[in-house]
Structure 1
């Protein structure tokens, strides 16, 4: 995904866009949980919600933050246990290009 999916929000409601951006910065700042772990949690949630593009983006960011493919797959084991097989199909579509 090359285009910012929130571009339409930014163009039409700058205040909302800034609120979302600030929330993202707060959620993903280094703190008690390392960034890598936060990204893996977010990846699991996006897989649970069927967000293929979100899983793809978060997997790339997690790898950049030091996550291994094995850590991503381990995250998906927990995701599957909690959210079911649909989350795995979402993740498979998202990871196909990245892991091939």
Structure 2
């Protein structure tokens, strides 16, 4: 699960960075505000990659997905991109757990 979720988060780092560039030119927010919010979100994505196996990390990821969708109020395209990444996050968590379960079953069978 960690690999799939981390891949989604790294993709989000790029999208957030590009959305920050768009927001800087199209919104009434100051450059400092845009980059403070974008920078914190990008840093959170990267840090979350390292702690995905800890309790609560998946929930923080969901909160990040909601924030990404809500950023559509500043950059309207983020409504769509946020929804796409929320779907990717769901798929990463759902199928990642299935893969982890299959690996555990395989390891148990191999050790028997």
Task: Give the TM-score band, short-chain normalised.
Answer: 0.3 to 0.5
Larger radius of gyration: 2
TM-score, length-normalised on structure 2?
Answer: 0.33
